[in-house]
């Protein structure tokens, strides 16, 4: 499939005119990012500063990308970047504060598909204006406490989401425990299952709205929410209609495209090679499955996440098998972003 370039309207002449041009520009159409061994599993768009942040999974670094000029900057982290024990798998822009969060997580739990739950994990809070790390919060004590209390190890940290008060929730896919990290970097326990099954991935993809932390429990193919105002939160099933009963759905990522005001939820399903679209009219007590958008990239690309850049929605493609082994870097340099704006709109508008 031939991918077109980003379409921009406006001429970038100087700093002042460049700013004006960005405000009037339109980002649409498929595009490629060329960066050797980038392998982004997740990305998110800083709508204030007009930058896309991509986790360079196997380099354990972050790429800052300007979709208007195509300029790139690599962000590195001492003790993490270039350390093969770490992946940077998760990226999340906090629209409330303007900070960006990165997951510097152990790679082995994912490489081994849950067989090896060792390795350290850090949540990184980054100030994109100052261009520096605000803090790094280690999950070592949290994971050790969970194991001591339950007798079961948890790991596979990757997904995170923020509430309106600046707290960040960071989940361990294997074991289903969720840490809560304050705006100052203090780590506490938000949720620990009474009975831990760490042999399969459970809570994947996190989004937040109206005091509900929404996740997908891949172990039972179920959307759930947690009440973030509760002192003892428990998962509550979100009643879902329209989804084929025989479908075993996984959601590597969940995403609220900002243009739909948290009413449309996108599930990035690796196993189905598609983006599943859900809608709620009652603040996610219930939801309706609207349909799916097939991944148009054929071959080994997986639609691991989605991101809205300005008013367009894109699939972030990851290539887990380039090296021949699962979840390891190959030698790829070109990574596509596929515009699915109109396809999502067709589903959303058909059920408005």
Percent of the chain scoring above 70 in pLDDT: 93
Distance CA 87, CA 38 (A): 12
- Mind listing the pLDDT tens digit for each residue in 223-249? 999 999 999 999 999 999 999 988 888
Average pLDDT over the chain reads 93
Question: Over the stretch 262-285, which tens digit does the pLDDT of each residue have?
Answer: 999 999 999 999 999 999 999 999
pLDDT confidence tier of residue 255, bands split at 50, 70 and 90: very high
What pLDDT is attached to residue 351?
A: 76
Whole-number Å distance between alpha carbons of 339 and 312: 7
Q: What is the pLDDT of residue 20?
A: 52
- pLDDT of 12 over the 50 cut: no
Residue-wise pLDDT for 155-200, tens only, equals 999 999 999 999 999 999 999 999 999 999 999 999 999 999 999 9
Q: Mind listing the domains of the chain with CATH numbers?
A: 15-350 (2.130.10.10)
Residue 81 has a pLDDT of 98
What are φ and ψ of residue 59, in 5° steps? -85, -15
The whole-number pLDDT of residue 24 equals 57
121-159 residue pLDDT tens = 999 999 999 999 999 999 999 999 999 999 999 999 999
Buried b (16+ CB within 10 A) or exposed e, 75-104: bebeebbeeeebbbbbbbbbbeeebbbbbb
What does pTM read for this prediction? Answer: 0.93
**What are the residue ranges of helices labelled H in the chain?**
15-24, 108-111, 140-150, 341-350
Confidence at residue 298, expressed as pLDDT on a 0 to 100 scale: 86
């Amino acid at each position: 499939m031939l991918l077109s370039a980003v379409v921009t309207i406006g001429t970038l002449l100087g700093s002042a005119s460049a700013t004006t041009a960005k405000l009037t520009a339109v980002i649409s159409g498929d595009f490629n990012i060329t960066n050797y061994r980038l392998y982004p599993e997740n990305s998110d768009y800083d709508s204030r500063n007009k930058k896309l942040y991509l986790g360079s999974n196997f380099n354990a670094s972050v790429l800052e990308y300007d979709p208007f000029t195509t300029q790139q900057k690599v962000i590195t982290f001492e003790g993490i970047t270039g350390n093969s024990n770490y992946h940077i798998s998760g990226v999340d822009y906090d629209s409330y504060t303007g900070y960006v969060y990165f997951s510097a997580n152990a790679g082995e739990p994912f490489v081994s598909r849950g067989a090896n739950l060792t390795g350290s994990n850090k949540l990184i809070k980054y100030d994109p204006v100052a261009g520096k790390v605000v803090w790094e919060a280690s999950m070592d004590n949290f994971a050790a406490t969970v194991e001591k209390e339950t007798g079961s190890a948890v790991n596979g940290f990757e997904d995170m989401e923020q509430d309106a008060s600046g707290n960040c929730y960071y989940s361990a896919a294997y074991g289903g425990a969720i840490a809560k990290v304050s705006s100052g970097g203090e780590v506490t326990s938000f949720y620990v299952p009474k009975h831990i099954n760490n042999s399969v991935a459970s809570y994947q993809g996190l989004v937040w709205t109206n005091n509900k932390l929404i996740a997908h429990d891949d172990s039972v193919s179920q959307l759930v929410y947690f009440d973030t105002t509760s002192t003892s939160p428990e998962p509550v099933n979100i009643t879902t209609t329209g989804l084929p009963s025989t479908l075993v759905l996984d959601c590597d990522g969940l995403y609220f495209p900002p243009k739909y005001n948290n009413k449309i939820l996108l599930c990035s399903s690796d196993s189905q090679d598609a983006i599943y679209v859900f809608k709620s009219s009652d603040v996610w007590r219930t939801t309706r499955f609207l349909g799916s958008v097939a991944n148009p990239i054929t071959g080994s690309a997986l639609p691991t996440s989605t991101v809205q850049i300005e008013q367009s929605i894109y699939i972030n493609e990851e290539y887990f098998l380039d090296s021949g082994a699962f979840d390891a870097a190959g030698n790829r340099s070109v990574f596509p972003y596929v515009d699915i704006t109109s396809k999502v709109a067709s589903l959303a508008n058909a059920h408005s």
